[in-house]
Structure 1
Amino acid sequence: MRDIDADLYLEVGQYDLEELERERVVVLKKLDWIIMPIICFTYMIQFLDKLSLNYASAYTLIPDLGLQGQRYSWVAAIFNFGYLFWALPANYLIQRLPVAKYTGTMILIWSVLLCCHVAAKDYTGMLVLRFLLGMFEASISPAIMTIVSMFYTRSEQPLRMCIFLAFNGMATMVGALLGYGLGHAGSSALRSWQLIFLTIGLLNFVWGWVFLFVMPDSPSTARFLTHKQKVIAVHRIAENMIGVKTKQFQPKQALEAALDIKVHCAVMIGLGCGVINGGVSNFASALIRGYGFSGIYATLLQLPTGAFEFFLVPLCGLVASYFKDVRCAVLAVICLPPLGGLLGIRLTDLDHRWTLVGKYFRCTWLQYLVGAPVILCWNLLTSNIAGHTKRSTANGLWFVFYAAGNIAGANIFFARESPRYYSALAGLIACYAGIIVIAIFMRQYMWWENRSKDRKIRTAARTDDAVDEQAILEGFQDVTDKKNLHFRYCL
């Protein structure tokens, strides 16, 4: 199968290797100053979309549209039904179509849908809008994962992926301030919750055009790189052993993904993260109101959650980037603080409401660290799954299970248990414990696979240089990680 940028890799021989190495630094700086800001801002405004319902619920959204009881839970959950419905098709479209143009189009579509929330009149209208919004947002995370794998090496990916996911935390802070400010906006025409949807929707619409104009579809189409720098960009990521991208769908690779134990581990982590995210992102305001705070302060008190995520998640990426084979270990360890926070919520009386919302850096605020295991799991997929159809399938399955988890998470907060939600807390605690166990198992399984391949290579008496070059060439030929004997897993 022909890789879209294979010809650029073949041009490497025309340049002096020392010269290429010197130019690599310049190329990396260009990528960091152009690609990364676009990704970070895109992820921030996309997460604002998801949080918009949470912030709107702090005002009069629920009584205005008749969303009392489990109706609000279903409005929160229906987004994930749309996400689940489109997760696999989205990943295959990302493989087939120019990724930047496809993603920019999705941003424009969902921005219009978000603005349409202003016109919602009842429960049914909100269900339809939230389903469609989830459907069109199903592409954004796998698209960004694809873009990162096209421009960055495996060693560079953990830090940069954690940085862009940390902008979920920035979105939480911006959204909390926005919700607080719009809560004070006096308007006879629009209520506070309508202003929230309209403002975020218009912001997305403007950004969609910026994304379409600036973001390249691959290194070969990056207008900000010279031809020589494009060759270097492809040469840099060749060491990932997965090539850049092939557009052909291969059924055998899809089947291999469905049977791969690594993929099973990743999607189960995705399921657990989804349950946690589905509960926390939609019910943070409800939890804080249950602690005795008013609607406006229920949004303002979510500011520290974003700060935790924005500053701590990149630290996880920094550790995973600079220490070898610690990605699974970091994933497991970062689950411990929010697990402690949940135990704190479960065991603290309502009389200590400041302790419940974050005293001593625990409880509610700590729950937004769920972004760290999510992004580290994504990085394990982008680094350890070779074969473009296999990777598209694995990514699609991850997001299917993640969406299913979000549906479950939004519906284990039973209205009858307000404000303590004991069933939900038990479910979230079980998810964190499960993620820790699976991450440890996944690491040991990949370690065993690497050892098995090493033994086969030694039997064949191949040199390290020959092995590396063969791994790169097979990556450009769309060979899967299982079939590529020279491929090694990042632990």
Structure 2
Amino acid sequence: MEKEKQPEIAPAPSVDEGQSATEKQMRDIGADLYLEVQQYSREELDAERKIVLRKIDWVIMPMICITYTIQFLDKLSLNYASAYTLIPDLSLEGQRYSWVAAIFNFGYLFWALPANYLIQRLPVSKYTGVMILTWSILLCCHVAAKNYAGMLVLRFLLGMFEASISPAIMNIVSMFYMRDEQPLRMCIFLAFNGMATMVGALLGYGLGHASSALKTWQLIFLVIGVLNFVWSWVFLWMMPDSPSSAKFLSHKQRIVAIDRIAGNMIGVKTLHFRPYQIREALLDVKVQCLVLIALACGVINGGVSNFASSLIKGYGFSGLSATLLQLPTGAFEFFLVPLCGLAAGYFKNTRCIILALICLPPLGGLLGIRLTGLEHRWTLVGCTWLQYLVGAPVILSWNLLTTNIAGHTKRSTANGLWFLFYAAGNIAGANIFFAREKPRYFSALTGLITCYCGMVGVSLFLRVWMGWENKRRDRLYGAGEDEQAVVDGFKDQTDGEANHFRYAL
């Protein structure tokens, strides 16, 4: 059978002959394997695709899901510790606790852009593993905190080193999965934040009954820190940096893996930094819309993740009960968020619409908290549980970034801006819960309601804009998403430069 001819991508079939170090750096790390695709017929490649996908799912997805579970436990640790004697022990009363919660996001904000550029330039799994190891040590150091100042320093450094994890995982997913496969996988791993909520609630409740020389809040930090420390070494050992270096795949299967994701039209990864792509990212309407969604998600997350215990205690429950009552919030996130990803992957061009629709239940929950009397405390608890669906708009906006931003420097910039605005939102969200407004926090509720309404409007506008741009390109350049689009992706062209690139709505 005649083998299907693949287009040439790069200046020469070998990167080793006649090329300078700079030229090698500018070349996509998957380009060489993509050139080998022409050695096989399309039938041979297609026959291996399901096997490769299954192997990737069995290795990459468990690694990502466990990583997400333990790192989200880190973020929740302060919330669970606050249900015990952390606040009086370290003199964190009033707005001091708000600032301890918020300072994490200052560290996150400080490192958001550098983290994304380092992820582009360095082996992603090695960099991420070192970050996990570092923050595990920092978390254990919380046990020794003696005062407000010490907690501020530790939480800032923790936020700084955790700023890499989400963009690194986004990078890994875009390197291993096709466009229509990404929404479900991304929603699955984010749903493990819900698993972390359930594990953390049980852990906090169990440690609350433990007899130890350490106080309960110290045990919470220590146990979660040790879990992260052990996992960091597993991650460093098992997680590959790209399909090209995946040891669990044979050489032919690595070629198939590259062939699979070639249709994403963004290549795999290039180590070369292209400054002009920064400017394009800053001026891109899509990026501007997505960072506004990031800001809104951050405000909601910053408030809910740090003040869920305070809200539930305000309805008339004890500290132990407030911790245990957060268990169902994890189930909400764990089971409902993947359904959004399943729908977004199954129904073509529905990402923006689903993002808008999933904002409505938590918006209704906020209105319920604001309008329901305190005597109906179980209704108020149920409305609070709905706030944990914020993971769905977060992950769908991530997917819109990974599928619609081409050019590796541009995508690193866009990712960095997303997390920078998300961190800024978290800072604002943690500081609009004023202690004087207990137990309803009316100012905070108004802010969160405004954020959800804004996300609905921005996501619908984004869908209209990208749909209009796709039609304009079809009219000027013909049908896109073809072999030329694949070639442009391996050349590290941006979605603005590549006329055959089309947006996933």
Paired residue type of 1:222: A
Among 424, 440, 444, the residue aligned to 1:424: 444
Deviation at 1:319, TM superposition (A): 0.3
Pair 1:448 & 2:468 matched: yes
Paired residue type of 2:66: F
Pair 1:290 & 2:290 matched: no
Deviation at 1:16, TM superposition (A): 1.7
Deviation at 1:277, TM superposition (A): 0.1
Q: Deviations over 1:415-460 (max 9, x none)?
A: 00011100000000000000000000000000011011101113xx
What pairs up with 1:45-444 in 2 under 5 angstroms?
45-187=70-212, 189-358=213-382, 363-444=383-464
Deviation at 1:351, TM superposition (A): 1.1
- In structure 2, C-alpha distance between the alignment counterparts of 1:107 and 1:399, rounded to whole Å: 18
Paired residue type of 1:14: Q
- In structure 2, C-alpha distance between the alignment counterparts of 1:419 and 1:121, rounded to whole Å: 28
**Unpaired stretches in structure 1, ≥5 consecutive residues:** none
Paired residue type of 1:487: F
- In structure 2, C-alpha distance between the alignment counterparts of 1:449 and 1:98, rounded to whole Å: 34
Match of 2:14 in 1: none
- In structure 1, C-alpha distance between the alignment counterparts of 2:133 and 2:281, rounded to whole Å: 32
- In structure 2, C-alpha distance between the alignment counterparts of 1:457 and 1:264, rounded to whole Å: 26
Q: Deviations over 1:70-113 (max 9, x none)?
A: 00000000000000000000000000000000000000000000
**Unpaired stretches in structure 2, ≥5 consecutive residues:** 1-25
Deviation at 1:38, TM superposition (A): 0.2
Match of 2:22 in 1: none
- In structure 1, C-alpha distance between the alignment counterparts of 2:63 and 2:104, rounded to whole Å: 25
- In structure 2, C-alpha distance between the alignment counterparts of 1:16 and 1:455, rounded to whole Å: 33
Deviation at 1:151, TM superposition (A): 0.1
- In structure 1, C-alpha distance between the alignment counterparts of 2:267 and 2:463, rounded to whole Å: 24
- In structure 1, C-alpha distance between the alignment counterparts of 2:351 and 2:284, rounded to whole Å: 19
- In structure 2, C-alpha distance between the alignment counterparts of 1:346 and 1:383, rounded to whole Å: 37
Q: Deviations over 1:182-239 (max 9, x none)?
A: 011111x200000000000000000000000000000111000000000000000000
Paired residue type of 1:490: A
Paired residue type of 1:486: H
- In structure 2, C-alpha distance between the alignment counterparts of 1:263 and 1:354, rounded to whole Å: 40
Match of 1:474 in 2: 488
- In structure 2, C-alpha distance between the alignment counterparts of 1:14 and 1:481, rounded to whole Å: 29
Identity of aligned residues (%): 78
SS in 1 for 2:497: coil
Paired residue type of 1:131: F
Deviation at 1:375, TM superposition (A): 0.1
- In structure 1, C-alpha distance between the alignment counterparts of 2:191 and 2:251, rounded to whole Å: 33
RMSD, aligned CA: 0.7
- In structure 2, C-alpha distance between the alignment counterparts of 1:272 and 1:265, rounded to whole Å: 11
Deviation at 1:19, TM superposition (A): 1.1
Pair 1:24 & 2:44 matched: no
TM-score (norm. length: structure 1): 0.97
- In structure 2, C-alpha distance between the alignment counterparts of 1:259 and 1:223, rounded to whole Å: 40
Among 62, 77, 80, the residue aligned to 1:37: 62
- In structure 2, C-alpha distance between the alignment counterparts of 1:449 and 1:94, rounded to whole Å: 30
- In structure 1, C-alpha distance between the alignment counterparts of 2:244 and 2:461, rounded to whole Å: 39
Match of 2:8 in 1: none
Deviation at 1:17, TM superposition (A): 1.2
- In structure 2, C-alpha distance between the alignment counterparts of 1:197 and 1:278, rounded to whole Å: 19
- In structure 2, C-alpha distance between the alignment counterparts of 1:457 and 1:391, rounded to whole Å: 24
Deviation at 1:123, TM superposition (A): 0.2
SS in 1 for 2:482: helix
- In structure 2, C-alpha distance between the alignment counterparts of 1:117 and 1:349, rounded to whole Å: 38
Paired residue type of 2:75: K
SS in 1 for 2:93: coil
Q: Which runs of 4+ in 1 moved over 6 A?
A: none
- In structure 2, C-alpha distance between the alignment counterparts of 1:354 and 1:368, rounded to whole Å: 16
SS in 1 for 2:263: helix
- In structure 1, C-alpha distance between the alignment counterparts of 2:475 and 2:40, rounded to whole Å: 35
TM-score (norm. length: structure 2): 0.95
Deviation at 1:381, TM superposition (A): 0.1
Deviation at 1:290, TM superposition (A): 0.7
Paired residue type of 1:97: L
- In structure 2, C-alpha distance between the alignment counterparts of 1:350 and 1:123, rounded to whole Å: 32
Paired residue type of 1:288: I
Deviation at 1:5, TM superposition (A): 1.3
- In structure 2, C-alpha distance between the alignment counterparts of 1:163 and 1:486, rounded to whole Å: 31
Q: Deviations over 1:41-65 (max 9, x none)?
A: 0001000000000000000000000
Pair 1:457 & 2:477 matched: yes
SS in 2 for 1:250: coil
Match of 2:9 in 1: none
Match of 1:6 in 2: 31
Q: Which moved more, 1:80-89 or 1:286-295?
A: 286-295
Q: Deviations over 1:374-400 (max 9, x none)?
A: 000000000000000000000000000
SS in 1 for 2:57: helix
- In structure 2, C-alpha distance between the alignment counterparts of 1:355 and 1:318, rounded to whole Å: 29
